[in-house]
Amino acid sequence: MAAVPIHDPTRAPLADARRETCDTTCYMCACRCGIRVHLRDGEVRYIEGNPDHPLNQGVICAKGSSGIMKQYSPARLTQPLRRKPGSERGDGQFEPIGWDEALRLLEDRLRRIRATDPKQFALFTGRDQMQALTGLFARQFGTPNYAAHGGFCSVNMAAGMIYTIGGSFWEFGGPDLDRAKLFVMLGTAEDHHSNPMKIALSKFKRGGGRFISINPVRTGYSAIADEWVPIKPGTDGALLLALIHEIIKLGLYDREFLARYTNAGQLVNQDAASDQFGMMLRNAEGDVVNPLRPANFLWWDRLSQQAVADHADGADPALLGHFKLADGTPAVPAFQLLHERVKAYTPEWAEGITGIPAATIRRLAHEMGITARDQKIELPIAWTDCWGQRHASVKGNPVAFHAMRGLAAHSNGFQTVRSLAILMSLLGTIDRPGGFRHKAPYPRAVPPNARPPKGPEAVKPDTPLNGAPLGWPESPDDLFVDADGGPVRIDKGFSWEHPLSAHGLMHNVITNAWRGDPYRIDTLLIFMANMAWNSTMNTSEVRKMLNDKGDDGEYKIPFLVVCDAFQSEMTAYADLVLPDTSYLERHDCMSMLDRPISEFDGPVDAVRVPVLPPTGQCRPFQEVLVELASRLGFPAFVQADGTRKYRDYPDFIVNYETAPGSGIGFLAGWRGKGGEKSMRGEPNPRQWEMYAQNNCVFHHMMPPEHQYMRNWNQGYMAWAQSVGLRRDNDPIVIHIYSEFLQSFRLAAQGRRGGKKPPAHLRQRIETYFDPLPFHYAPLEAQATDLAQFPLNAVTQRPMAMYHSWDSQNAWLRQIHTHNYLFVNPAVARAAGIDDGGWMWVESAWGKVRCLCRYSEAVEPGTVWTWNAIGKAPGAWGLSDDANESQRGFLLNHLISDELPGAAGRVSNSDPITGQAAWYDVRVRIRAADAGEPAQTWPQFAGVPAAPGTAAAPRWRAFFAGREGKQ
Ligand code: SF4
């Protein structure tokens, strides 16, 4: 029988069809574009970009327009599920239960844990956009065992930049391509800031800007670069240091900018016998500016040839030279130390590490330097700096950079990103036109004010933590360790192993909890993170850990709760599955308290509003958290008499304030009783409605004099403080030299009072906590026989899929159903591997059989593939023989979450921040034997469809192209 379309979208709609158009915010990736959803008779028919949205201006990508297939995906979970008694984790045997029972079960368990030892409950979340709420929930619960995905994403990018310039890329800042003349992109695939970056790049190129991409692979944005500079993974630090070497050697740094706005001129104690060695010298009589962050530093004044208070009227700090204070203390400006540090980092030195010819490095440095120096921008915008100097204009040096996980996801990433931030600062491009510009709520103090808890005593039964679970340590005394220097968090965050782990280490949680190191936990709640597959570094072993039992017959991680909208590989291991809604079925906010979508010209936040009712029994995770917090009586969620404060999540968002009467809540727009105030004001009962009427977005446009030089802009600081974006209004001086890092090194050397690292970590702290940037080989490379494993292996996200989210999407599957390993043809031929042939990739940790694809667009020392296209059989609503599991593969099987360390093993992470070192793995390749199965390896047993899935409407097949051809 011929297939007949149930609905033909190309025909005129039926006269009586009910048509609606609703604005909301996309969540097919983390970019948060505005979308316009067209519905017919209550079903989604079409999704387009919202032309009135400031972020994407109507642009939509393949993922965004395919949201319809996500909404009606057969992988949707639609009811709460409990693992069937007697079945094993991983078997995917579930029985439906009602929400009443699911919530009662959770409530009872969490109440017991909270009343005894709150850290026995761990909450870790994936790429969600509600960390302000999940963090608040953990804090109110009283558990420090909380983090989102940042530790295995790009915390090195955030921390390396924020500890240097007080801001970072993507949500918190980016390249000003409207005015830049030269744009240099490093280690970025087509992912973060996707549509806005495409729009900006298109305009930039049409305007004659020059675009250089530095990346091992030429894909995505790099494909339209004017110049592709191939580089070996994990060596960007060497390139950046060589560029700094050249810029200094050629005198192409912006001296005026460095002297006034960075700590380049601040004097550093060089008395090797002093316990203050390497710390900034202080002026005892000087103005501390802010007692919470004393800034009474010294300059060596070139005019009077003596030490003076920094920013003293009429003084001009020496940046180079060696000096002696009146009391005989030897001192040097921080810039002198940088100058000495990079002397050995010549282009020839970098060539041997990066594979980039020295002449190219010289040319790049020269081009950056002269573009910054000779094509200056001057805007007629008067402003006053924090030291009271009035400036008639805003100046800019039009060289802009953008970088992401390619730099971050290495165990040397923090120092690499510090090198980038310092290069940008030398060129004088921070928060200036044509360079890098901040986005609210940044810039923030270096480091920001939030500190992690300081010791085990911070965790008390039935008591909220007295601060956020995550923060920014300023010195060893801010570490979250016990009396022996041991970790208090389950992921060992903020311990001596990874002191500046500002985003936690989600990739450590399952291994540590399974091993009971530092202790066992009772309940692990995972929200939208695929920890049994692509979000874990040691996939096969982690799957065993999730299913492993102790001698008592109990699972080593006793209770596992997974909240997700889809049947992923992870849900099969859950004891309790909570079905989340789709992004089209719920309220959400992209909050100023979290990661908003701000523009350079002012704060912007946004919301999602439901355009459809929840599918089946799906319930938004936000609602679950508000419900549990209310039932458990968290102080922020109940009245004094114990009755609940908030009816539901929308009510919470409208009425929650950071402190009673603060006027600061999750949303900054349409505050005040009638919506007449912005940024700060009383709760407005009609706030959601007003967002919905305004494209779901609020944009506070700042006056031009507040839009630049915000680290040091008196007017901006006063305003930012008045609306709660900053606690203080002191200047945020760029840290070319980091005395914060030096304080850790002094502790490791036993030259500092307070907390000290345990013996086995002293050398590690002393080595990596260098106050100046330096390059070292990634830890895995240091521990690997590179002759045996000569190649680097990396992944990238494709344009059409966001991590593992989209293999259940019928449209996007037509673009990627399986993945290849891309290999430079010369390398593949030398190994006897055919284009399109089966091959083996082996690391020290595991091996994978996959398909090879020749590619000239990859430097010869690197092989790469798309991330998370490969799937386990049965997951994501796919059949057991789907291409994703038969021809697709996961590179994670080659990666280890741990490396050999001083105490036997250490996390495969950056020793400073704990950033997961995804891209450090070293591999070798060979052809598969002729008789081997044409199938990827390893293979896993399929799991059955969970009850309530596969309920997608039949007309979906029409849109998928499987029905309705006439
Ligand atoms: S870039 Fe991301 S948020 Fe924007 S339309 Fe595409 S999927 Fe949606």
Assess whether the previous peptide bond of 443 is cis (omega < 30° from 0). yes
Q: Confidence class of residue 442 from pLDDT cuts 50, 70 and 90?
A: very high
Confirm or reject: Cβ of 280 under 6 Å from ligand 1.
no
Q: For residue 56, which atom of ligand 1 is closest to its CA?
A: 4
Query: Which of the listed residues 61, 170, 696 should we mutate to test ligand 1's pocket, taking the one with most ligand atoms within 8 A of CB?
Result: 61
Query: Which of the listed residues 23, 24, 26 should we mutate to test ligand 1's pocket, taking the one with most ligand atoms within 8 A of CB?
Result: 26
Distance 449 CA to ligand 1 centre (A): 32
Q: Confidence class of residue 189 from pLDDT cuts 50, 70 and 90?
A: confident
Query: What per-residue confidence (pLDDT) applies to 45?
Result: 87
Distance 61 CA to ligand 1 centre (A): 6
Query: Which of the listed residues 25, 31, 65, 191 should we mutate to test ligand 1's pocket, taking the one with most ligand atoms within 8 A of CB?
Result: 31
DSSP state of 549: B
**Mean pLDDT of the region 347-360:** 98
φ/ψ of 243, rounded to 5, equals -65, -40
Distance 589 CA to ligand 1 centre (A): 16
Confirm or reject: Cβ of 31 under 6 Å from ligand 1.
yes
Distance CA 944, CA 692 (A): 40
> What is the CA angle 921-926-928, rounded to 5?
120
Q: Confidence class of residue 965 from pLDDT cuts 50, 70 and 90?
A: very low
Q: Confidence class of residue 961 from pLDDT cuts 50, 70 and 90?
A: very low
Query: What per-residue confidence (pLDDT) applies to 8?
Result: 61
Query: What per-residue confidence (pLDDT) applies to 962?
Result: 47
> What is the CA angle 634-639-643, rounded to 5?
85
Confirm or reject: Cβ of 411 under 6 Å from ligand 1.
no
Confirm or reject: Cβ of 189 under 6 Å from ligand 1.
no
Query: What per-residue confidence (pLDDT) applies to 640?
Result: 95
Confirm or reject: Cβ of 235 under 6 Å from ligand 1.
no
Q: pLDDT tens for residues 605-639? A: 999 999 999 999 999 999 999 999 999 999 999 99
> For the ranges 389-393, 877-881, 934-938, which has the lowest average pLDDT?
877-881
Q: For residue 305, give every residue at least 6 positions away whose Cβ sits within 8 Å of its Cβ, in sequence order, or none.
A: none
Please answer whether residues 430 and 436 qualify as being in contact, where contact means their C-beta atoms are separated by less than 8 angstroms: yes
Distance 650 CA to ligand 1 centre (A): 24
Query: What per-residue confidence (pLDDT) applies to 1?
Result: 42
Of 349, 17, 398, 370, residue with least CA distance to 208: 398
User: Which residue's alpha carbon is at the smallest distance from atom 8 of ligand 1?
Assistant: 64
Query: Which of the listed residues 29, 55, 584, 809 should we mutate to test ligand 1's pocket, taking the one with most ligand atoms within 8 A of CB?
Result: 29
At residue 293, the 3 state secondary structure works out as coil
Query: What per-residue confidence (pLDDT) applies to 11?
Result: 65
Query: What per-residue confidence (pLDDT) applies to 878?
Result: 92
Chain position carrying tokens 């021809």:
887
**Mean pLDDT of the region 732-736:** 98
Distance 18 CA to ligand 1 centre (A): 27
Percentage of the chain lying above the pLDDT 90 cut: 89
Confirm or reject: Cβ of 66 under 6 Å from ligand 1.
no
Instruction: Give the pair of three-digit tokens for residue 524.
Output: 């692990």
Q: pLDDT tens for residues 57-109? A: 999 999 999 999 999 898 999 999 999 999 999 999 999 999 999 999 999 99
DSSP state of 671: B
At residue 768, the 3 state secondary structure works out as helix
Please answer whether residues 918 and 908 qualify as being in contact, where contact means their C-beta atoms are separated by less than 8 angstroms: no
Please answer whether residues 557 and 521 qualify as being in contact, where contact means their C-beta atoms are separated by less than 8 angstroms: yes
Q: pLDDT tens for residues 526-543? A: 999 999 999 999 899 999
| Amino acid (1-letter code) at residue 87 | S
Chain position carrying tokens 């091992």:
216
Please answer whether residues 267 and 299 qualify as being in contact, where contact means their C-beta atoms are separated by less than 8 angstroms: yes
**Mean pLDDT of the region 915-931:** 97
Confirm or reject: Cβ of 24 under 6 Å from ligand 1.
no
Query: What per-residue confidence (pLDDT) applies to 954?
Result: 54
Confirm or reject: Cβ of 53 under 6 Å from ligand 1.
no
Please answer whether residues 160 and 418 qualify as being in contact, where contact means their C-beta atoms are separated by less than 8 angstroms: yes
Taking the CB of residue 290, how many other CB atoms lie within 10 A of it? 14
Please answer whether residues 859 and 216 qualify as being in contact, where contact means their C-beta atoms are separated by less than 8 angstroms: yes
Distance CA 416, CA 240 (A): 8
Please answer whether residues 503 and 448 qualify as being in contact, where contact means their C-beta atoms are separated by less than 8 angstroms: no
Distance 204 CA to ligand 1 centre (A): 21
Beta bridge partners of 561: 525, 576
Query: What per-residue confidence (pLDDT) applies to 38?
Result: 94
Query: What per-residue confidence (pLDDT) applies to 872?
Result: 95
Q: Confidence class of residue 953 from pLDDT cuts 50, 70 and 90?
A: low
Q: Determine if residue 786 is left, alpha or beta; phi over 0 gives left, psi from -120 to 50 gives alpha, anything else beta.
A: alpha
φ/ψ of 550, rounded to 5, equals -85, -175
Query: What per-residue confidence (pLDDT) applies to 512?
Result: 97
Mean pLDDT score of the chain = 95
Q: Is the pLDDT of residue 7 over 90?
A: no
Query: What per-residue confidence (pLDDT) applies to 799?
Result: 87
Distance 965 CA to ligand 1 centre (A): 30
Q: For residue 61, which atom of ligand 1 is closest to its CA?
A: 6
Q: The whole model's pTM is what?
A: 0.96
Confirm or reject: Cβ of 194 under 6 Å from ligand 1.
yes
Q: Confidence class of residue 2 from pLDDT cuts 50, 70 and 90?
A: very low
Distance CA 848, CA 210 (A): 40
Instruction: Give the pair of three-digit tokens for residue 847.
Output: 């091996």
Q: Is the pLDDT of residue 955 over 70?
A: no
Distance 194 CA to ligand 1 centre (A): 7
Confirm or reject: Cβ of 792 under 6 Å from ligand 1.
no
Burial 211-245 (b: 16+ CB within 10 A, else e): bbbbbbbbbbbbeebeebbbbbbbbbbbbbbbbbb
Query: What per-residue confidence (pLDDT) applies to 39?
Result: 92
Taking the CB of residue 158, how many other CB atoms lie within 10 A of it? 25
Distance 26 CA to ligand 1 centre (A): 6
Of 537, 604, 529, 624, residue with least CA distance to 568: 529
Query: What per-residue confidence (pLDDT) applies to 958?
Result: 53
Q: For residue 31, which atom of ligand 1 is closest to its CA?
A: 3
User: Which residue's alpha carbon is at the smallest distance from atom 2 of ligand 1?
Assistant: 29
| Amino acid (1-letter code) at residue 442 | Y
| Amino acid (1-letter code) at residue 135 | G
Q: pLDDT tens for residues 396-416? A: 999 999 999 999 999 999 999
Q: For residue 25, which atom of ligand 1 is closest to its CA?
A: 3
Confirm or reject: Cβ of 809 under 6 Å from ligand 1.
no
Q: pLDDT tens for residues 843-867? A: 999 999 999 999 999 999 999 999 9
Confirm or reject: Cβ of 270 under 6 Å from ligand 1.
no
Q: How distant is the alpha carbon of residue 157 from its chain centre?
A: 8
Query: What per-residue confidence (pLDDT) applies to 966?
Result: 28
Query: What per-residue confidence (pLDDT) applies to 236?
Result: 98
Confirm or reject: Cβ of 800 under 6 Å from ligand 1.
no
Beta bridge partners of 383: 391
User: Which residue's alpha carbon is at the smallest distance from atom 5 of ligand 1?
Assistant: 64
